[in-house]
Structure 1
Amino acid sequence: MIVINNFDEYKALEGQMIGDSAWHMIDQDQINRFADATLDDQWIHTDKERAEKEGPFKSTIAHGYLTLSLIPYLWKQIADVRNVKMEINYGIENLKFGDAVPVNSEVKLQATVKSVINLKGTVKAVVEAKLLIKDHIKPAYTGDVVFLYHFS
């Protein structure tokens, strides 16, 4: 894990792949809980028998938005951004889903710092986030996550 204490340390990481999170397994229970929370119970995510018979992946798959919702959890395994009064998840740019995440797959986040700028005291960091799926060639997605930080 990399420790970032201030703007200058963050800026020094520009252009660097700074690391990977640990592997995280997405099981059916997590998929079902996400479906309940978001009211998205499409059968391809929640109906194991139907997904095995009719689905293109022969199993249920994680919701794309479930995999995106893991970014804050997995990011904190890669970078410990300290001395922050406030951190804002500002957005995701250029997001492309590349591959489905079958149930019981392990995923990990790979992060590259693309840019860090100081906007009159607010630090805007753009981090390329790539969600890798164990034993898959293509990532589940790639996108540029935008964080805003107010350092102490």
Structure 2
Amino acid sequence: MPTTISYDQLPEIAGADLGHSAYRTVTQEQVNLFADATDDHQWIHVDAERARSGPFGAPVAHGFLTLALLIPLWTELLDVRGVATKVNYGLDKVRFPAPVVVGSRIRMRAVVAEVTAVTGGFQITVDQAIDIEGGPKPAVVARGLYRFYA
């Protein structure tokens, strides 16, 4: 269940821990579709048989696929009402500390680091991590920037 606030409340959420999204399973079908979309068919992602004898013991998701999952996971954590436009403004920093083995379950946790006024709206800076269920390290650590305009 996302934290739901109004546009006018955005300045008040600096420092807010938004908790965790629900878990979702990363499937081989997702990995294959991402490989097709990006023309990245490296065997560690798409060749399950060969990947079993590779460095991770199974096929792994592309790092950028895991990063792209920030968006659907993010929508589970914050809902801002009363806005005309919401914009994914970008990322300040991204790291991929651990691979996501196909079939793993992942979820995102997020903390609002800061809220700043921008022309016509607000920008929130969010420290985000995608965790792998049972894993010692996150798959993705990122600082996301999101803009909200009334």
TM-score (norm 2): 0.95
- 1:50-129 superposed matches below 5 A: 50-53=50-53, 55-129=54-128
For 2:17, the equivalent position in structure 1 comes to 17
The CA distance in 2 between the partners of 1:95 and 1:108, in whole Å, is 16
- Alpha-carbon distance, 1:21 to partner: 0.6
For 1:132, the equivalent position in structure 2 comes to 131
- 1:136-147 superposed matches below 5 A: 136-147=135-146
For 2:47, the equivalent position in structure 1 comes to 47
The CA distance in 2 between the partners of 1:68 and 1:89, in whole Å, is 13
Maintained 8 Å contact 2:10/2:122? no
The CA distance in 1 between the partners of 2:149 and 2:61, in whole Å, is 33
Deviations 1:54-108 (A, max 9, x none): x111000000110111111111111112111111111111211110000000000
- Alpha-carbon distance, 1:16 to partner: 2.1
Name the Cα RMSD after superposition. 1.0
The CA distance in 1 between the partners of 2:47 and 2:92, in whole Å, is 32
**Residue identity matched to 2:11:** K
| SS of corresponding position for 2:111 | strand
| SS of corresponding position for 1:98 | coil
**Residue identity matched to 2:28:** Q
For 1:36, the equivalent position in structure 2 comes to 36
Maintained 8 Å contact 2:98/2:140? yes
The CA distance in 2 between the partners of 1:136 and 1:92, in whole Å, is 24
* Structure 2 residue ranges without an equivalent (≥5): none
- Give percent identity, aligned residues only: 36
TM-score (norm 1): 0.94
* Structure 1 residue ranges without an equivalent (≥5): none
More moved, 81-90 vs 19-28: 81-90
**Residue identity matched to 2:5:** I
**Residue identity matched to 2:23:** W
Deviations 1:29-65 (A, max 9, x none): 1110111111111111000011111x11100000011
The CA distance in 1 between the partners of 2:16 and 2:79, in whole Å, is 16
